[in-house]
Chain A
Amino acid sequence: GNSVTQMEGPVTLSEEAFLTINCTYTATGYPSLFWYVQYPGEGLQLLLKATKADDKGSNKGFEATYRKETTSFHLEKGSVQVSDSAVYFCALSAGGYQKVTFGIGTKLQVIP
């Protein structure tokens, strides 16, 4: 079946540091890949997505590139802010009724 692997964290960074959260996946076919973000006390919301190999998704300074050769979709940001503190979920969708497979989520803490 499909699966998504990411570290649980927490990842603690100082403000303005460079962020990388690794995500690798296993899937048949050609899934779409997503990063969702969950701020404290809220539901998940879409951060970015990529729907085919070599696509780059970007939003709010975050980027991730769909790498089919390494089955990866790592999330990066050049300079994090305290307001980026949240839990980040990597996910894939191969379509169909079972919809989306989520990773366990990576908690990011950014300290001033």
Chain B
Amino acid sequence: NAGVTQTPKFQVLKTGQSMTLQCAQDMNHEYMSWYRQDPGMGLRLIHYSVGAGITDQGEVPNGYNVSRSTTEDFPLRLLSAAPSQTSVYFCASSPWTGKKDTQYFGPGTRLTVL
């Protein structure tokens, strides 16, 4: 049982490049989400999904796209990278949207945009 996995662990991009951050979970969780972590700002929700084929925006969605074709996978796409997207990105999953549910986090992707 691997839990939540993310690839790559580190990435450096040039401004304007695009890339996809991968996230997968093997716990059959319905709810998945992407956060970015920045100093002094904690974790901010980018996008989330409540099941395959269903996604929606979080607090800071601009510049990012997501899709959810399977229960297991929830990739995050950066369309045209900007220095403001330099951050650490975490994918998380939980069984459902109940308020008692624990969130399970991946190890993170550290992204630098030059």
**Given contacts A96-B97, A98-B58, A102-B42, could you give 14 more A-B pairs where the C-beta distance is less than 8 Å?**
A31-B99, A32-B100, A34-B102, A43-B105, A43-B107, A43-B108, A46-B103, A51-B99, A93-B99, A94-B99, A96-B99, A97-B50, A97-B97, A105-B42
Contact residue among B42, B45, B92, B105 (Cβ-Cβ distance under 8 Å from A104): B42
Q: Does B33 contact A (CB under 8 A)?
A: yes
| Contact assessment for A43 and B42 in the assembled complex, using a CB-CB cutoff below 8 Å | no
| Contact assessment for B90 and A89 in the assembled complex, using a CB-CB cutoff below 8 Å | no
Given A43-B4, A43-B90, A45-B105, are A98 and B42 neighbors across the interface (CB < 8 Å)?
A: no
| Contact assessment for A95 and B97 in the assembled complex, using a CB-CB cutoff below 8 Å | yes
Contact residue among A32, A36, A43, A44 (Cβ-Cβ distance under 8 Å from B99): A32
| Contact assessment for B42 and A93 in the assembled complex, using a CB-CB cutoff below 8 Å | no
A residues in contact with B4, CB < 8 Å: 43
Q: Mark A25-49 against chain B: 1 for CB-CB distance below 8 A, else 0.
A: 0000001101010000111111001
The smallest C-beta distance from B22 to any residue of chain A, in angstroms, reads 15
Q: Does A60 contact B (CB under 8 A)?
A: no
Given A43-B90, A93-B101, are A99 and B40 neighbors across the interface (CB < 8 Å)?
A: no
Query: Number of residue pairs across A and B with beta carbons under 8 Å?
Result: 63
| Contact assessment for A51 and B100 in the assembled complex, using a CB-CB cutoff below 8 Å | yes
**Chain A, Cβ-Cβ closest to B94:** A99
A residues in contact with B43, CB < 8 Å: 44, 89, 102, 105
A-B contact pairs, 28 of them (CB 8 A): A31-B99, A32-B99, A32-B100, A34-B102, A41-B107, A42-B108, A43-B4, A43-B90, A43-B105, A43-B106, A44-B105, A46-B103, A49-B102, A51-B99, A95-B98, A95-B99, A96-B97, A97-B50, A98-B58, A99-B31, A99-B33, A99-B48, A99-B97, A99-B103, A102-B43, A104-B41, A104-B42, A105-B42
Q: How many residues of B contact A (CB 8 A)?
A: 27
The smallest C-beta distance from B31 to any residue of chain A, in angstroms, reads 7
Q: Does A15 contact B (CB under 8 A)?
A: no
**Chain B, Cβ-Cβ closest to A46:** B102
| Contact assessment for A42 and B100 in the assembled complex, using a CB-CB cutoff below 8 Å | no
Most buried by A among B42, B45, B92: B42
